[in-house]
Structure 1
C-alpha cells in the first residue's frame, strides 16, 4: 500500500453525496485529514474482524468486499467501484471491520482515519448530520437488496444480480452492455448465495439463449430487455 499525491482530493470528495453540500472551508478540513493510497491488485485493504481505522473512497479501481462463514466459505457482500465509499457505517461505531476488502484491480483510494474524522465532526456538527442522512439511505438500499434476493429463487437471483451489475458497472457499446468486472464463477455464485455448479448451469443456459456471454474478465449482455422480462415473468 503506497502513499500517493492527494491533489484534487477536495474536488473528488465533493462528488460524494455526504460531502456535496459542504462549504469550501469544510471540504478543506476534510481534505487535510485524508490520505491517498495506491493499492496493488489482490492486496487486502482490511480484514474482517480487524480494528476499524479508516473509511475509504475509491478514486479508480474495483474492490471486492466479502465475509467468511464458519466453514471458510466466502460470501461476497459487494463489488465496489470508482466513486464508492466503504465500509458505509465506519464513521459511527467502534465495531471491527464487518468484511474483508481486497483490490481486484490496481486501485487508488482516499482514506479518512476514523478518529480524525470524529474530532472533525465534533467541531463541525453540520458534517455529521449530512453523513448520517446518507448512511440512512444506504442502509435502506441494502435492506431492499437483501429482501429482493432472499425472496427469489436462484434463477431470479441470477437475473437480478446481472441486472444490478449492468446498472452499476455496465458500459453501453452499440446494442450491447459490457460489464468489465474480473469475477470468477465462484465469486458470482457467492454473490447470490448458491453453488458454483448451479450458477454455471444458469449462466450457460442464458448463453445458449444468446442473451449474454461470460468469461473471467467480463460479462457481455446482448439483450438487457429480455433479461428484465425473464426476471419479471
Structure 2
C-alpha cells in the first residue's frame, strides 16, 4: 500500500485531500502493470473505476463506424483517466491501449464520489479536470470539422508540443514517439496524407526528424500558418 500512496500523491488532482484520506483511498485501490500493446479496458465493460497512470504512456481510443481506430487522447504519468465513471454508472464507450510499458492505480469510482461529498476543494478539482477535458475535446472537434488536413496536423503538433515538448538546440522535440498512422488516428486522416503533409512541413523547415521522432524547428511559423498564438513555452530563443 505505501507504493500506491506515493503514486496517488504524485497526481495533482489529489493535492486537495488530507493525508489520511489518501491513505484510505489507497486501501481501496489496486496497482496494475501492463506491457506495450495490451488493453487496460474494452468497450462495453462496466465503468465502475478510474485510473491514475504512474508510469508509461497510454492512448484512449474508439472505433469509427468503418472499424478504424480513432485516438481520443494520450495520457502521461500523474494523469487520471476514465473519469466519466465518476458520474455515469454505465459501460465504457472507449478502450485504452498501452503505448509504453505502464503502471497504474485503479480506484473505485464510488470512492471518488464519496470524497467529493466530504471535501469541497477536491470536488472543485474534479470539476476543473472535467472542464479542461471538455475544452480539449471541443477544440479538437473544431479542428476536425473546419480545418484542412494540413491545418489539423499543425494544430496537433502544437498541442503535442505543449504537452510533450522539450526545448533542444534543434527546436521543440516531442518526447514521445508516434507513427504516421497514430498521427492520422489523432486527427481523423490517413497515414498517406500525414506522410505527404509532414514532407511539406519538412521542406519548409518547420519540422524535422525521422523514425517516429518529431522536432518542431520553427514553432512560430507553424502557429502563424494556422492563425494561432504561440504559447511562451514553445517560443525558441532568438539567436
When residues 222 and 123 of structure 1 are mapped into structure 2, their CA distance, relative to the original with a 3 A threshold, is closer
Q: Take 1:133 and 1:173, find their aligned partners in 2: how far apart are those partners? A: 32
Superposition deviation, residue 12 in structure 1: 3.5
1:156-189, CA deviations, whole angstroms, 9 ceiling, x for partnerless residues?
A: 1110000011111111222422213232212211
Pairing 1:231–2:226 present? yes
Q: Compared with structure 1, are the counterparts of its residues 214 and 79 closer, same or farther at alpha carbon in structure 2 (3 Å cutoff)?
A: farther
Across the aligned residues of Structure 1 and Structure 2, the Cα RMSD in angstroms comes to 2.3
Farther-moved stretch of structure 1 (73-82 vs 22-31): 22-31
Given candidates 38, 55, 73, the residue that maps to 2:50 is: 55
Number of residue equivalences: 227
1:72 to 42, 67, 70: 67
Q: Superposed, which structure 2 residues align to 1:1-233 within 5 Å?
A: 6-118=1-113, 120-121=114-115, 124=118, 126=120, 127-128=122-123, 130-232=125-227
Cα separation, 1, equivalents of 2:22 and 2:204: 50
Of stretches 30-39 and 207-216 in structure 1, the one that deviates more from structure 2 is 207-216
Work out the CA distance in 2 between the residues paired with 1:47 and 1:179.
Answer: 28
SS in structure 2 at match of 1:229: helix
Higher mean C-alpha displacement, 204-213 vs 157-166: 204-213
Q: Which runs of 5+ in 2 are unaligned?
A: 229-239
**Contact 2:37/2:98 (8 A) holds in 1:** yes
Measured after TM superposition, the shift of residue 117 of structure 1 is 4.2
Task: Decide which structure has greater helix share.
Answer: 2
Deviation at 1:143, TM superposition (A): 2.0
Closer, same or farther in 2 for the Cα pair 1:209/1:43, shift >3 Å?
same
TM-score by length of 2: 0.84
Q: Residue 53 and residue 204 in structure 1: after superposition, are their counterparts in 2 closer, same or farther (change >3 A)? A: same
**Distance across 1 between alignment mates of 2:115 and 2:199:** 50
Measure, in 1, the Cα distance between the counterparts of 2:161 and 2:99.
Answer: 18
Q: Secondary structure at the match of 1:90?
A: helix
Q: CA-to-partner distance for each residue in 1:126-163, whole Å, 9 max, x for gaps? A: 44454234323432332233224423222111100000
Distance 1:171 1:122 in 2: 35
